[in-house]
């Protein structure tokens, strides 16, 4: 099996929220995309999404050759993957569906074409059992929504995924400016969703116990630690939390109290009654704003943060060059 294939054409399977966002990103990076989805009206919905996302992608910077005209759509799976250098699969989160799909893809594609799944929770070891011919080229490439704006992608192989496939996937995602992180082992939900899940559990518990409202818990997050998390992760912030003594001093000071606090964290049960309480709280927080308005607010602030981080990175790099 050769692994020297240059990735210039992407096959997108499934053009829902994630697949459409991937499509917009790949086009913005100068790649050709052939998308497929059997849902009625899928092509029109996809093209509408890409058109709407394009101004944000222009603002972040288009790659040479970037064009919406590089998108082709077909309802035929075999036609969609013909000539593909990489497949980004975004099908339903059903193991039986994915195993059947991977059997089809495995039989249709040359052995050097990577099949990457956007699956948010299924393990590749289970998915790739459907690909009997070349399971070694199957890998998880899980993005965070919306993929055309959020840089994170989690890369993790299954039991039969080759090391070279993982390396090629990492290289590809990094080449299109994704922040690719490699997981050394499979876990249900991968990593980022597990982190979100741990936080969501405590959020729901606090609202369930009437500690504060849905709006106030959102403020506590987004105007407190959330601002810092948009700049640095937990470990780096712990290092800063230790002052001049860094991470060593942080653990000397806080390891005991922090460990003790974990015992008081909640484990709410999402009963119909609690779900209604949470839903009512969210609608009270939302007020008259539409989902589209909230998405626009999220994306505009996110774009500003991305631009600021890019500017900081470029300035830091320039300073390093000048210091040499």
The reply to whether 141 and 261 lie within a common domain is: no
Up-side HSE of residue 152: CA atoms within 13 Å toward CB? 13
- Tell me: the pLDDT tens digits for 163-199? 999 999 999 999 999 999 999 999 999 999 999 999 9
| CB-CB contact of 213 with 284 (8 Å) | yes
The reply to whether 252 and 140 lie within a common domain is: no
In a domain, residue 172? The reply is: yes
The reply to whether 98 and 117 lie within a common domain is: yes
Among the candidates 124, 153, 182, a domain finishes at: 182
The reply to whether 122 and 264 lie within a common domain is: no
The reply to whether 22 and 91 lie within a common domain is: yes
Region 61-85: what's the mean pLDDT? Answer: 97
Can you give the CATH number for the domain in which 145 is found?
A: 3.40.50.720
The reply to whether 42 and 177 lie within a common domain is: yes
The reply to whether 23 and 140 lie within a common domain is: yes
The reply to whether 16 and 44 lie within a common domain is: yes
Rounded distance between C-alpha atoms, residue 287 and residue 101, angstroms = 42
Rounded to 5°, the CA angle 122-162-165 comes to 85
Compute the mean pLDDT over every residue in the chain, rounded to the nearest whole number.
95
In a domain, residue 228? The reply is: yes
Rounded distance between C-alpha atoms, residue 60 and residue 78, angstroms = 34
Rounded distance between C-alpha atoms, residue 169 and residue 161, angstroms = 11
pLDDT of residue 314 exceeding 70: yes
pLDDT for residue 41: 97
The reply to whether 259 and 160 lie within a common domain is: no
In a domain, residue 282? The reply is: yes
Neighbours of 20 (CB within 10 A): 27
| CB-CB contact of 11 with 36 (8 Å) | yes
Among the candidates 182, 203, 223, a domain finishes at: 182
In a domain, residue 51? The reply is: yes
In a domain, residue 309? The reply is: no
Among the candidates 182, 200, 219, a domain finishes at: 182
pLDDT for residue 1: 44
**Which one-letter DSSP state was computed for residue 232?**
S
Nearest Cα neighbor of 172 from 253, 219, 112 is: 112
User: What confidence tier does 4 reach under pLDDT thresholds 50, 70, 90?
Assistant: low
In a domain, residue 321? The reply is: no
User: What confidence tier does 317 reach under pLDDT thresholds 50, 70, 90?
Assistant: confident
Which range of residues forms the domain containing residue 237? 192-287
The reply to whether 145 and 212 lie within a common domain is: no
Our count of domains for the chain comes to 2
In a domain, residue 317? The reply is: no
User: What confidence tier does 3 reach under pLDDT thresholds 50, 70, 90?
Assistant: low
Can you give the CATH number for the domain in which 239 is found?
A: 1.10.1040.10
């Amino acid at each position: 099996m050769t692994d020297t294939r240059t990735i210039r054409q992407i096959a997108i399977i499934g053009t829902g929220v994630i697949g459409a966002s991937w499509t917009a990103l790949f086009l913005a990076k100068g790649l050709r995309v052939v998308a497929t989805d059997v849902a009625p009206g899928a092509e029109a919905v996809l093209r509408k999404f890409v058109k709407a996302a394009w101004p944000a992608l222009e603002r972040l910077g288009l790659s040479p050759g970037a064009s919406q005209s590089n998108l082709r759509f077909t309802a035929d799976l075999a036609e969609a993957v013909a000539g593909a250098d990489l497949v980004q699969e975004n099908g339903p989160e059903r193991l039986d569906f994915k195993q059947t799909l991977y059997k089809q893809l495995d039989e249709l594609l040359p052995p050097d074409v990577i099949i990457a799944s956007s699956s948010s929770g299924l393990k590749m070891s289970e998915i790739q059992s459907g690909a009997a011919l070349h399971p070694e080229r199957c890998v998880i490439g899980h993005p965070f929504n919306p993929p055309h704006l959020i840089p994170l992608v989690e890369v993790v192989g299954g039991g039969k995924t080759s090391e070279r496939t993982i390396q090629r996937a990492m290289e590809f995602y990094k080449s299109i400016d994704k922040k690719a992180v490699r997981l050394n082992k499979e876990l249900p939900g991968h990593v980022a969703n597990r982190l979100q899940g741990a936080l969501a559990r405590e959020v729901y518990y606090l609202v369930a116990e009437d500690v504060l409202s849905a709006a106030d818990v959102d403020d506590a997050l987004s105007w407190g630690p959330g601002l810092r998390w948009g700049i640095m992760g937990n470990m780096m912030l712990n290092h800063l939390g230790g002052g001049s003594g860094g991470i060593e001093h942080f653990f000397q000071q806080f390891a005991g109290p922090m460990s003790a606090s974990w015992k008081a964290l909640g484990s709410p049960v999402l009963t119909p009654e609690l779900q209604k309480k949470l839903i009512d709280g969210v609608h009270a927080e939302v007020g008259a704003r539409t989902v589209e308005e909230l998405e626009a607010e999220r994306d505009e602030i996110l774009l500003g943060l991305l631009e600021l981080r890019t500017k900081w990175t470029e300035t830091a790099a320039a300073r390093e060059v000048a210091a040499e």
